[in-house]
């Protein structure tokens, strides 16, 4: 009985991931056709995804065409926070679903005005586990680790960090009061995310934001970093 249930769970998970793979391919084809670079942001709840994007929209939305798709279990708070910067923002409310999937993104994409923007951010549900398994059709994956979460998180939540092209160490202005051990964090990141670029940022003070924008500019040229996006899509 227990074995049968386990077998059914595995079967349904495989069917879900296979269906997701098909939708992610469709999304990626649409993005590539439109020349739209897509960045999937993953982190714990409260690591600062929305604050980072607010500042990024304020700084970039006048210069490049950008849009945001944002996922949450409940509320449209984040979409409201990111409104008003001249960039389209579409909210996905997942109810009890702990991650975005490619079909949800495909549907939200219909609400983004054509032609598609040069840059599309997808702010995933705040969760360091479930979103990692779902390719949304993105070109790049950015994992945020706030300095208040502790240096050990890359080891404890390995998949999110292993599949990231870039790790942003957020809330850098709190590193000192939080007693953040940068050396330990970098050691853990080089074990868990050996191919990822690591940048410290503070969206509040502006520290490190230029390096983040420079990283984005390189992505807009269509360069792939360390091949992780391809590995995920293969």
Q: Does 19 bind a copy of itself (CB under 8 A)?
A: yes
19 or 217: CB nearest a copy of itself: 19
Stretch that binds a copy of itself, among 32-40, 56-64, 105-113, 156-164 (CB under 8 A): 156-164
Closest distance between a copy of itself and the C-beta of residue 16, in Å? Answer: 7
Q: Does 91 bind a copy of itself (CB under 8 A)?
A: no
Query: Helical H runs in 75-227?
Result: 77-82, 102-109, 153-156, 158-162, 175-178, 182-192, 209-220
Residues 154 and 188: beta-carbon distance below 8 Å: yes
Task: For residues 180 and 182, give the distance between their C-alpha atoms in angstroms, rounded to a whole number.
Answer: 6
Q: How long, in residues, is the chain?
A: 234
Q: Does 201 bind a copy of itself (CB under 8 A)?
A: no
End-to-end alpha-carbon separation of the chain, Å? Answer: 35
Stretch that binds a copy of itself, among 26-34, 40-48, 82-90, 209-217 (CB under 8 A): 40-48
Of these, 98, 209, 211, 225, which contacts a copy of itself (CB under 8 A)?
A: 98
Stretch that binds a copy of itself, among 34-42, 104-112, 115-123, 173-181 (CB under 8 A): 173-181
CB atoms inside a 10 Å sphere around CB 151: 20
Q: Does 205 bind a copy of itself (CB under 8 A)?
A: no
CA distances (Å), 227 to each of 116, 126, 157, 208, 234, in order?
A: 24, 25, 21, 24, 11
Q: Does 15 bind a copy of itself (CB under 8 A)?
A: yes
């Amino acid at each position: 009985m227990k074995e049968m249930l386990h077998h059914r769970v595995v079967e349904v998970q495989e069917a879900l991931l296979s269906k997701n793979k098909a939708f992610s391919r469709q999304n990626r084809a649409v993005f590539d056709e439109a020349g739209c670079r897509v960045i999937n942001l993953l982190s714990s709840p409260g690591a600062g995804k929305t604050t980072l994007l607010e500042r990024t929209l304020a700084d970039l939305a006048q210069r490049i065409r950008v849009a945001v798709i944002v996922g949450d279990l409940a509320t449209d708070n984040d979409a409201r926070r990111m409104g008003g910067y001249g960039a389209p923002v579409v909210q996905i409310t997942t109810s009890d679903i702990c991650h975005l999937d490619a079909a949800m993104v495909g549907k939200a994409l219909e609400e983004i005005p054509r032609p598609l923007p040069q840059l599309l951010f997808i702010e995933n549900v705040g969760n360091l586990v479930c979103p990692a398994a779902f390719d949304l059709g993105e070109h790049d994956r950015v994992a945020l680790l706030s300095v208040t979460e502790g240096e050990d998180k890359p080891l404890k939540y390995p998949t999110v960090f292993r599949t990231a092209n870039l790790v942003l160490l957020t809330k850098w202005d709190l590193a000192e009061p939080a007693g953040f051990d940068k050396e330990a964090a970098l050691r853990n990141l080089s074990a868990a995310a050996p191919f990822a670029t690591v940048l410290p940022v503070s969206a509040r003070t502006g520290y490190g934001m230029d390096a983040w924008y420079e990283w984005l500019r390189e992505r807009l040229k269509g360069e792939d970093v360390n091949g992780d996006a391809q590995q995920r899509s293969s």
